[in-house]
Amino acid sequence: MRLHLVRHPQPLVDKSTCYGRSDIAVAPEMLAQSAAQLLPQLRALPHDWPLVSSPLQRCAKLAHSLAQAMHRPAPQLDPRLQEMDFGQWELRPWDDIPWAEVEAWNADLAHYAPGGGETLTEVAGRMWQAFDDLLATSAEGVIVICHAGSIRMLHACAAWRAGQGASASPEAADFREIALNAAAHRTEIPYARPLVLDVSPSPAR
């Protein structure tokens, strides 16, 4: 199974702002530019590969634009692919968030809920379910439009499965380990550029 993971285009928000689950728009010209940049690569993929997207508009609008341009069915919108919910931190400048709260999160990345939103372990749990369903797709690949944090989590899910071997049970996934793996890999995820993730099908399928 091959996943073509695409981060949404750059949204209309200051880079110094904390945002995750907030539904932030993308400038129309940026959306058009991103679609044009992606189409040559995505058009070359088999036509039976489904297009799956986070429902947040910075992803969904790109997914719908791509589906229309490639004459594919409308994208499947999966809320489990949404970015992390930062609760009361959402749309606040990072400099305005009390340092003690940020330090508390750094001290317990797996279980602390920043702003009263989600913990990374909770994010890993829903992302694992989405990941397992992606692997159940009958096609040999899927195009996934989502977020930087979601892409890191999907890579962490694949790494956990690979580490467990062919006998791994999807029900036995260690969400804490997956969460910490994702948190440890903070490489920059580029906007609107495909990242290929090859994974073995779920042994339970």
pLDDT digits (tens, 9 = 90+) for 129-164: 999 999 999 999 999 999 999 999 999 999 998 887
- The pLDDT assigned to 164 comes to 79
Is residue 125 within 8 A of residue 170, CB to CB? The reply is no
Which secondary-structure segment (H or E) carries 4? strand 2-7
Does residue 200 surpass a pLDDT of 70?
A: yes
Instruction: Record the tokens describing residue 26, joined without a space.
Output: 């993308």
Q: Specify which residues 51 forms β-bridges with.
A: 143
Q: Tell me the pLDDT tens digit for each residue of 39-64.
A: 999 999 999 999 999 999 999 999 99
Across residues 170-192, what is the average pLDDT? 89
> Residue type at 110?
A
- The pLDDT assigned to 166 comes to 54
Which secondary-structure segment (H or E) carries 162? helix 148-164
Instruction: Record the tokens describing residue 133, joined without a space.
Output: 């369903």
Instruction: Record the tokens describing residue 143, joined without a space.
Output: 């195009």
Would you give the DSSP letter of residue 84? P
Q: Supply the Cα-derived Rg of the chain in whole angstroms.
A: 17
Q: Angle at CA 169, nearest 5°, toward 130 and 141? A: 40
How many CB atoms within 10 Å of residue 32?
Answer: 14
Is residue 75 within 8 A of residue 145, CB to CB? The reply is yes
Q: Work out the pLDDT band at 205, boundaries 50, 70, 90.
A: very low
Q: What is the dihedral of CA 153, 158, 164, 166, to 10 degrees?
A: 150
- The pLDDT assigned to 163 comes to 84
Is residue 86 within 8 A of residue 19, CB to CB? The reply is yes
Would you give the DSSP letter of residue 124? H
Does residue 5 surpass a pLDDT of 50?
A: yes
| Lowest-confidence region among 27-31, 163-167, 172-176, 181-185 | 163-167
Q: Work out the pLDDT band at 170, boundaries 50, 70, 90.
A: low
